[in-house]
Structure 1
Amino acid sequence: MPETTQTASDRMIEAAGRLFSERPFDAVSTREIASAAGVNLSAISYHFENKEGLHRAIFRKIIQDLKPVRVGLAILLENQLTAARDDRKAYADFIAIFVSRVVDSAFSPSTRWKMRLLKRETEMPTECFQILMEGHVDVIHDLLGILIAKISGDSPTSEKVKLEANAILSLCLQYALNEELVKARLGWTSIGPSEIQKIKNITTEMILRSVNLGEYSGLTTKG
């Protein structure tokens, strides 16, 4: 199968995204972006109008790339809740699968810079913050909220459930977002499949205990 050739706009999104994931928006110049993407400086204004337009395009592209994660989790949750009725083991299985998929996505080489950029955006919001929230974060949080509410009996829109959903997602992502710290503390030279599995196991166990499903730790279906 022939390799897919990146368009100039794709190269600019990729190059600028990596640069923005390392430094604040104002610290990255259009000249630097153009050089990293291998295009003329005028290409940015031609394709995106300006640096701000390119920045927005990066976030829209990331949200589009993460669509399979959102859709897959939504389908899984719907199927799991339909089959579960009051089967708490089925809820625990969903949590294990959720953790596995989110951790895999966070550690994927193709998404590492994207995760760093999303973290930077939540810490130093720009006009793209709302794009990120509405396009991805709110969707994932709401899916978790539905499950947490089903387990606890609370309203999925309550502050308590929203805070719990935020804590769960943060726990799933924090190892990938703090990789150097994790390696230093654990004495790991790298984080490969076996280390990632350990991270999944401990994360799943912690979350199950936090939602009063600790009795299913080690007994869940992972995928």
Structure 2
Amino acid sequence: MKQPGSSTSNRMLETAGRLFADRAFDSVSTREIAAAAEVNLSAISYHFHNKEGLYRAVFEKIVRDLKPVRVSLALILENQLAAASDDRKAYAETVTVFVSRLVDSAISPVTRWRMRLIKREIEMPTDCFQIIMEGHINVIHDLLGILISKISGESPTSENVRLEAMSILAICLQYALNEEMVKARMGWSDIGPSEIEGIKISMAEMVLRSLDLGDCIDRSRIE
């Protein structure tokens, strides 16, 4: 398999990813992918061996593309959480920024097809389930555990902290994973900047209250 990196392979990955996000793996043909990416059908075999190799490469690229999100969230903890030093308002600011970035990473227009594909993989796991879990979701979950642990004083590996971290992560992701349901229930025609702002405010305030930091809510810190 050729190392994906050329403009041709990247175009195929982007095209295939969007198609796989909207339809099941078996419903998307290599011929359709090649036509949509404007490449010769043989290019798929050349770069990825087969459709399964292409599907796997799509998830590997998603993990690479989401690396800035993981780095950004880790830096928030490294810089802001370390400096908080038991200051409740500083903790609240860190939580607000962290949750805001997490929501953005899930629901921004450029990541939505990726979230749809991740949802499909979660619902019908293949070998790629472990790629997205180990490469991205586990990392975010662990970072949330560190944040909650610092504020609560419990171990980041305790069941309570891990469950709370999972609850927060699941709720943040559900706005992207269940976009159509959210729009239907909220009466939105789209989830644009103003809707995303409202989601971030709601999520940040909910998480702050769950961490007993409700008295430190400051909407001006929402990014």
Fold shared per TM-score above 0.5: yes
CA contact (8 A) 2:200 2:222 kept: no
Off by >4 Å, runs of 4+ in structure 1: none
Which ranges in structure 1 are unaligned for 5 or more consecutive residues? 1-5
Partner in structure 2 of residue 3 of structure 1: none
Give the percent of matched residue pairs that are identical in Structure 1 and Structure 2. 69
CA distance in 2 between counterparts of 1:91 and 1:113 reads 33
String of CA shifts for 1:106-148, please: whole Å, max 9, x gaps.
Answer: 2322211011111111221110111111111111111110111
Q: Distance in 2 between matches of 1:161 and 1:122?
A: 22
TM-score w.r.t. the length of structure 1 is: 0.91
Per the TM alignment, residue 161 of structure 1 is displaced from its structure 2 partner at its CA by: 1.4
**TM-score, length basis structure 2:** 0.91
Worse-superposed segment, 110-119 or 99-108: 99-108
Aligned to 2:97: 97
**Amino acid of the structure 2 residue aligned with 1:57:** A
Shift of residue 218, structure 1, vs aligned partner: 3.1
- Give the paired residue count: 218
Q: Tell me, yes or no, if the aligned pair for 1:89 and 1:220 is still in contact at 8 Å.
A: no
Does 2:33 align with 1:38? no
1:75 equivalent to 2:75? Answer yes
Q: Distance in 2 between matches of 1:101 and 1:150?
A: 19
Deviates more, 1:142-151 or 1:181-190: 181-190
Letter in 2 for 1:205: E
Whether the 8 Å CA contact 2:74–2:143 is kept in 1: the answer is yes
Q: Does the CA-based 8 Å contact 2:15-2:36 persist in structure 1?
A: yes
Is contact 2:92-2:208 (8 Å) kept? Answer: yes
**Residues 93 and 220, structure 1, Cα contact 8 Å, conserved in 2:** no
**Would you say the 8 A contact 2:96–2:221 is kept in 1?**
yes
Q: What 5-or-longer segments of structure 2 have no aligned partner? A: 1-5
Corresponding residue number in structure 1 for 2:3: none
Deviations 1:69-109 (A, max 9, x none): 11111111011122111112222112211221122222322
- Distance across 1 between alignment mates of 2:19 and 2:143: 31
Contact 1:92 1:220 in 2 (8 A): no
- Where does residue 113 of structure 2 map in the other structure? 113
- Counting only pairs closer than 5 Å after superposition, residues 131-150 of structure 1 correspond to structure 2 as 131-150=131-150
CA gap 1:111/1:42 in 2 versus in 1, 3 angstroms: same
Q: Does 2:65 match 1:65?
A: yes
Confirm whether residue 125 of structure 1 aligns to residue 93 of structure 2. no
